[in-house]
Structure 1
């Protein structure tokens, strides 16, 4: 099976992509998706950006300029948010039973939000299978979004907060569908849409 993914033409086009497509784009290295091609890192060192096959660096720069987000802001957002999650009566116990060493989890979440918000491609995980076995429902997703929104509004520029919230809402929606699907039929693969 061959999947053709064309280069997005604008930041707005990337924003409209479903989370499942963004997850696919962020987890397939170019060297595997296009046979006999160098990886993005190798390409950047040997060719100018305009000749590169990857649109990612340009899209990242455009998103950073448009939203005021960068790695430092996202790191602060993630750390503040998970500090609130850990203290939350509803969400804290779910995380406490599953995460004992927070350092790697926080680094993974910074990479995730860097990939989701800035299209950096740093995250190489699979969030759906990580969430489907959890004892969570719509109320948990609503609480997660409320905490994330409050933290984003405190930490980011207004444009940055709107940008990450748009993605957070899509992610919560997709994960909720997958969790409900897995809870209804645990042996079946989760349905995302």
Structure 2
């Protein structure tokens, strides 16, 4: 079966690494992730497998992202708009435009689905999703 999006494993690893460098520095996402991730190398490898599964159809990821995000307790649906914005920035900087757009559209669909099952922060202004995903 051909890949959903023709990126390479090296491109996936590079995007994941660059993205999590930004996450760690982000004032809203950094604390959320630091509360749960103690081994960034292992986390990035796991997320790399997630994207290989989603993009290259490799069947190498067997986690349940919805369950993990719900169980975390401090992940709110509004975090996904920030997550997607950072992810889009990395995609645009690191990949050819057509690959970046395709991967972004899939990321937005996944993010939208994950955010629906999470609590809304009633004190925050609603943050729209970006892109056409």
| Coarse TM-score class (shorter-chain normalised) | 0.7 to 0.9
Structure 2 residue runs without a partner (length 5+): 122-133
Misfit runs of 4+, over 2 Å: 136-139
Among 6, 9, 15, the residue aligned to 1:77: 15
In 1, Cα distance between equivalents of 2:37 and 2:19:
15
Normalised TM-score (structure 2): 0.83
Contact 1:86–1:92 under 8 Å retained in 2 = yes
Normalised TM-score (structure 1): 0.58
Establish whether residue 59 from structure 1 lines up as the match of residue 7 from structure 2: no
Establish whether residue 99 from structure 1 lines up as the match of residue 37 from structure 2: yes
Contact 1:117–1:163 under 8 Å retained in 2 = no
Among 85, 90, 93, the residue aligned to 1:154: 93
Contact 2:5–2:103 under 8 Å retained in 1 = no
Structure 1 residue runs without a partner (length 5+): 1-57, 184-193
Among 34, 38, 48, the residue aligned to 1:110: 48
Partner of 2:102: 163
In 1, Cα distance between equivalents of 2:76 and 2:42:
26
The CA RMSD measured in Å over matched residues stands at 1.8
